[in-house]
């Protein structure tokens, strides 16, 4: 079984400003890279899963290189909240799960009173938790 492939920030084409791209340069560079990597001659009818993974990796690298050459990068923004932690993520996930459970019970015409109360309590705790985490972080580093 193959492991799930997820795009990392460095692989994402969102890093580039595509509105001001030099598309003729992009096309030329991408074509050169694909010919150089011999991707276009791949026999997809008889390819193995590992071979397909290899081809996909080459194509992603070719696209990334073409973007890098033909487009300007976007400015990096703040990508995380320094006060966010595993405890907050757990509280958030609990609220979401209870919300989904409550909705599924309601769709099945089953009583939702107990889950609704539990969801309300979890939501209240979750609503206060980020403020407490932010205050803890501020106290650690000073004003």
Supply the range of the domain harboring residue 122.
Answer: 86-141
Backbone φ/ψ region at 72: left (φ over 0), alpha (ψ -120 to 50), beta: beta
Does residue 65 sit in the same domain as residue 93? no
Does residue 54 sit in the same domain as residue 97? no
Instruction: Look at residue 98 and tell me if it is in a domain.
Output: yes
Does residue 46 sit in the same domain as residue 21? yes
Does residue 102 sit in the same domain as residue 66? no
Instruction: Look at residue 80 and tell me if it is in a domain.
Output: no
Does residue 131 sit in the same domain as residue 99? yes
Question: Would you tell me how many other CB atoms lie within 10 Å of the CB of residue 124?
Answer: 11
Instruction: Look at residue 75 and tell me if it is in a domain.
Output: no
Does residue 94 sit in the same domain as residue 59? no
pLDDT in tens, 20-34: 899 999 999 999 988
pTM: 0.46
The total domain count for the chain is 2
pLDDT in tens, 3-58: 655 555 455 557 888 888 999 999 999 999 888 887 778 888 888 889 889 888 98
Spatial distance between the Cα atoms of 133 and 86, rounded to a whole number of angstroms: 11
Q: How buried is 1 (Cβ within 10 angstroms: 0-12 exposed, 13-18 middle, 19+ buried)?
A: exposed
Instruction: Look at residue 26 and tell me if it is in a domain.
Output: yes
Instruction: Look at residue 8 and tell me if it is in a domain.
Output: no
Instruction: Look at residue 81 and tell me if it is in a domain.
Output: no
Does residue 66 sit in the same domain as residue 95? no
């Amino acid at each position: 079984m193959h492991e799930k492939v997820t795009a990392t920030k460095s692989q994402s084409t969102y890093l580039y400003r595509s509105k001001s791209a030099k598309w003729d340069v992009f096309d030329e560079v991408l074509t050169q890279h694909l010919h150089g990597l011999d991707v276009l001659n791949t026999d997809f009818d008889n390819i193995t899963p590992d071979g397909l993974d290899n081809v996909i990796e080459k194509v992603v690298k070719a696209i990334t290189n073409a973007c890098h050459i033909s487009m300007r990068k976007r400015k990096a923004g703040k990508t995380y909240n320094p006060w966010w932690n595993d405890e907050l993520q757990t509280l958030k996930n609990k609220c979401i799960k209870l919300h989904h459970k409550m909705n599924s019970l309601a769709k099945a015409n089953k009583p939702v009173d107990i889950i609704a109360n539990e969801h309300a309590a979890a939501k209240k705790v979750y609503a206060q938790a980020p403020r407490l985490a932010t205050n803890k972080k501020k106290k650690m580093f000073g004003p």
